[in-house]
Structure 1
Amino acid sequence: MSDAQPHIPDAPHRDQGTALWPITDAILGSEHPKTLARQARLANWTGNTAGDAAAARDQFAALLPRYERVLHPDHHDVLQTRYELARWTGEAGDPAAARDQLATLLPLYEHTMGAQHPGTVLVRYQLAHWTGEAGDPAAARDQLAALLPAYEQFFGAGHEAALVMRYHLARWTEKAGDTTAARDQLTALIPAIESMSTGPSGRARTSPASAERPPAASRTQGLTPREREIARLAASGMSNRQIAQELVLSARTVDNHLARVFSKLGISSREGLPAALSSDRPEV
């Protein structure tokens, strides 16, 4: 039997989830890890699906002290909640606050996860992004320049994720006022983009992204059943720690599975999972 398609609830489903909170609280308790995990998923659904970034920010802001009371401040779920709070703070229109929150969070990720962990790399990317959006394009440029080697090491220099990183580096370089360097950076991207536009046989492909990212259906077919299961749980909003508890795995095992999933699907973070998995439908 085919695996079920990942389900990302729309606003009515979100509202149904909210209505179930009192029942969950009564059965498990308002600060039970599973209760908190469901509320974190609901907050992400509020932002990603219902499009209400401010509400998602407020939900994570209310959730964070409850997580901190239940778990250690360095616990993965606490760090993930702080990351989501910063991200939705920026999306809600306060890039300076998002930048400051991520700047405080980054050393904790580096200490807990390691400097080369995909989660740490993602925090560094978000920090650069919101630094630029907060009005400091030169700092954003410098942060992305320092981050690029980690992307190229993790994905490969010719991978789309690394090329997108190089594009953003050029963009912030231009915004920082160095149009000549930005032009040179974009010019250096042309051969890589052209190689993505034509396959090894030299025949044109449908889009530049298809060189490193084959059609979504073929990408998902390359996932193992366990990788697909973990990817779908991550796409639903569960943190790595929550997935580990759900599947009775170690958090490190989940981390490693997701790193392989990102590489196979040609994405750089869990935020790209819903779209990447959307074509993975059961046959009828």
Structure 2
Amino acid sequence: MTICELVDPPAALLSAAAERESVRSAMNEAHEALARLRFHEGLRHGWQEARAEASVREATALAVSEGLRISVDDIRAWSMHPPRSSEIDPTAALALGIWRSQWNVARTFTPLNSRHTLVSRRAPEPLPARLSGIHRDICSALVTGGWQEVSTVAKPVQPQHIVTVKNYCQAPVPTLIHAAAIVAHFRFREVMRPASACVGAAFARSILVEHGVDPTGVAVLSAHDAYDPAAASSAIAGWVQADEDGVARWVEHFMRSIVTAARVGEDVALHIQGRSLG
């Protein structure tokens, strides 16, 4: 059976999985970890720098998961002095684009410690436009360098894949499970080409912030799976299984990845507090 013949888990399975005691327990641990991150002393005044560094680390984790040989130091240097297309190869161009997508998503987040209620400067974008914008950032350096045609950017491989994303986002489940479904779907399906998984990760990060699950924007969602790709592959197989047991297995794995994400975020905050990045 090919991947095209496999079915997407129906949104109803998210609700069923959410009722499981093991999933609820894993979700509670994830929320507790994010709460600890929220009140880290390093984010009191350094949240802007922390978000920037989290974007660097998230981009690095995603690039590594895409099979690219890129380090945190490489992407951190680019974040301060973006290279010209003539100075990099296609591998580095993709990594640079992944960082741009993370940074541009982070720039839309509400300030963490503002005393004032801020009104968004722009109206919410429709889902297809939002995903297209993320993919456009990811492919930006590839296009500029002549390695990818503009006509292939910001388009879903199949429109139905976007419909499935919308269905997952509208499922009556907690936001953490929405994020779990989004990350899994963009890994399972090549929703956009290249770097579908990176589009899903950026979108998942944004909804966790927007819905107040990770108001810091500093949790590094993809770190866990970059550290242990074998466990990630095993867990995503549960999602592909497309039954309640398999979906629950993936969701529990994702909650563990959120705990790791928060811990990496705390490390970022600690280094910001001590002014010891690099």
TM-score by length of 1: 0.28
The one of the two structures with greater contact order (alpha-carbon pairs below 8 A, sep at least 6) is 2
Report which of the two has the higher share of helix: 1
Q: Greater Rg, structure 1 or structure 2?
A: 1
TM-score by length of 2: 0.29
